[in-house]
Structure 1
């Protein structure tokens, strides 16, 4: 394996090449070319959300907001890695999604080295994974564009810098993934579940608007066009389906609409801090409602909120913080969110379209406890409901 100095030199040369040709996106990495995600033979597709690792420099980076016992036992970034590895082994997801603040840029000495370590459990698992950026990732030695360019070169990732068809789109890390029907089934060439990943930015660049950034008009236009294309393909021959395949959206900074919920009126989970959304409402929630395909939005950013609440048919869900260097709450375990889509069985006994979407959370305790099992959406007129696994 090349040493870090050699790796950085190669990376610098790659960045120079990209800038010379004026690209704002990078090609899909070789490891992802031709790779198609599909529902398993059990009719399920499982996603693990990893929110707010805030990884810095490994063993030398101390934990924040933990019990005295944890602190005495030399709690560090390595605890984050150990928890993530345990969850991956227990859940065996089909896809791992990192929803930003993957590294804590202001404390990072070498962004490349920190990202390598932060994503190492996902890479080692050989499970496909993707990432978007938060508001802290770029605070070290690499810009947001440079971070995404590096991420797409890592093993087993399906991340993209930006969609090839969108030349004028804000941010870096806007792309979608299609989850096809079970192999050898009549729907194996159909996308039955659509995943949207967006760059929610870091801080406002508009002098008159303070606070966090937001999802811009160009990104909403790309989502709208992509959703319409996927709907057309869903309804095309052979084996046309009716309506629209359900979708899920992943990004870092919560929408202002998350403010509608507290611990009492959320479906599951708790609110323990204010929603750190942009002060400007860019209307993305309205765009999602108008299209109707996205059933749930998953974000990070506010580490000690982990609720889901439903508004106008869209579930707004926090991942809950996983990182030990990130701020947290002593006695409130770090956690990760799992989402599972289940398929219907048709009259012939083969797998059909999506029947339901469920979620739960895993805690970093002795038993990797499962909490807050919930049905987010069902392919029926009934509404979301809390249920046991």
Structure 2
């Protein structure tokens, strides 16, 4: 999972393209380290910083997907949107900051993503306002086109705040491991997401947005995990990396963070084989 890449910052400054090149380097390094057994890349939101992109945000979208497309052909990826991806362009002017309409809305960004053959991204239902709400069925390793072994749900944040399930992580989660150096910014209202996750047997939830967190903790039987700040855009100077999730054929779920330099941190078993089998 790559989270918070923030391509497109400082596009008129020398440091902007250099920062994006560093983010591309992170992707290539992590993908190369994890290539054996890798089945899906998840782009966890805030891949571009729309409020810094004056025009043609799709060009930055194409740039952040280029490492997978160019160097790992045949490897599918799936994208979910964060708050910055379609944020309106902002600039300092006299006498105050001015804002212009976003260059591409959420559905247009996803449609751009779907141009590529290896994109597993889906457009969410037209009847709701959030574009990247969808699910992907996952078959077994031996029969990938057969009946799904599990479902991956992708939920559009809609406003850049972590789902309210993460307020639960403030209250002594069990099995806590990983880095917790940032605030948690939950949604303003409890919309029942955690209750649905718990009642329907969701085993783990993963989110980005808060760059200084990569921790996991179990609350009422549901694992809550942050990704890892992957890009050189956005705030914070924490080491860059990517959360990796391994789904075993026996139902076990393991996770770790692969750092840009190859180190592995924040690792643990979320669901054991015996737990998965009931």
TM over 0.5: yes
Give the secondary-structure state (helix, strand or coil) at the position aligned to 2:30: helix
Give the aligned partner of residue 119 of structure 1. Answer: 65
Q: Pairwise mapping of residues 90-129 of structure 1 onto structure 2 (< 5 A)? A: 90-92=33-35, 93-109=38-54, 110-124=56-70, 125-126=72-73, 127-129=75-77
> Would you say the 8 A contact 1:256–1:275 is kept in 2?
no
User: Which residue of 49, 52, 59 maps to 2:4?
Assistant: 52
Cα deviation, residue 183, structure 1? 3.2
Give the aligned partner of residue 277 of structure 1. Answer: 186
Cα deviation, residue 372, structure 1? 2.1
Residues 47-100 of structure 1, C-alpha deviations (whole Å, 9 max, x = no match): xx000000016795637xxxxxxxxxx951110001111111110121000011
**C-alpha distance in structure 2 between counterparts of 1:134 and 1:167, whole Å:** 18
Cα deviation, residue 303, structure 1? 0.6
Gaps spanning 5+ residues in structure 1: where?
A: 1-48, 64-73, 203-211, 213-252, 345-353, 383-389
Give the secondary-structure state (helix, strand or coil) at the position aligned to 1:87: helix
Residue 343 (structure 1) aligned with residue 237 (structure 2) = no
Return the TM-score normalized by structure 2: 0.84
> Would you say the 8 A contact 2:166–2:184 is kept in 1?
yes
**C-alpha distance in structure 2 between counterparts of 1:256 and 1:182, whole Å:** 33
Give the 3 Å change call, closer, same or farther, for CA 342–258 of structure 1 in structure 2. Answer: same
Residues 128-148 of structure 1, C-alpha deviations (whole Å, 9 max, x = no match): 001011001112411112111
Give the aligned partner of residue 22 of structure 2. Answer: 79
Q: Pairwise mapping of residues 190-205 of structure 1 onto structure 2 (< 5 A)? A: 190-202=147-159
Give the aligned partner of residue 199 of structure 2. Answer: 290
User: How many residue pairs were aligned?
Assistant: 255
**C-alpha distance in structure 2 between counterparts of 1:137 and 1:174, whole Å:** 15
Cα deviation, residue 182, structure 1? 3.1
Q: Pairwise mapping of residues 231-380 of structure 1 onto structure 2 (< 5 A)? A: 253-261=161-169, 267-292=176-201, 294-329=202-237, 332-344=238-250, 354=251, 356-365=252-261, 368-380=262-274
Give the secondary-structure state (helix, strand or coil) at the position aligned to 2:249: strand
Instruction: Kindly report the root-mean-square deviation, in angstroms, between the aligned alpha carbons of the 2 structures.
Output: 2.3
**C-alpha distance in structure 1 between counterparts of 2:42 and 2:171, whole Å:** 25
Cα deviation, residue 335, structure 1? 1.5
**C-alpha distance in structure 1 between counterparts of 2:59 and 2:179, whole Å:** 34
**C-alpha distance in structure 1 between counterparts of 2:59 and 2:145, whole Å:** 39
> Would you say the 8 A contact 2:215–2:226 is kept in 1?
yes
Cα deviation, residue 287, structure 1? 0.7
> Would you say the 8 A contact 1:145–1:161 is kept in 2?
yes
**C-alpha distance in structure 1 between counterparts of 2:120 and 2:248, whole Å:** 22
> Would you say the 8 A contact 2:30–2:241 is kept in 1?
no
Return the TM-score normalized by structure 1: 0.61
Give the secondary-structure state (helix, strand or coil) at the position aligned to 2:217: strand
> Would you say the 8 A contact 1:59–1:76 is kept in 2?
no
Cα deviation, residue 257, structure 1? 3.1
**C-alpha distance in structure 1 between counterparts of 2:168 and 2:179, whole Å:** 13
Cα deviation, residue 320, structure 1? 1.5
Give the 3 Å change call, closer, same or farther, for CA 61–171 of structure 1 in structure 2. Answer: farther
Q: Which has the larger radius of gyration?
A: 1
> Would you say the 8 A contact 2:7–2:48 is kept in 1?
yes
**C-alpha distance in structure 2 between counterparts of 1:145 and 1:334, whole Å:** 29
Give the aligned partner of residue 174 of structure 1. Answer: 133
Residue 62 (structure 1) aligned with residue 15 (structure 2) = yes
**C-alpha distance in structure 2 between counterparts of 1:61 and 1:141, whole Å:** 23
Give the secondary-structure state (helix, strand or coil) at the position aligned to 2:274: coil
Give the aligned partner of residue 116 of structure 2. Answer: 154
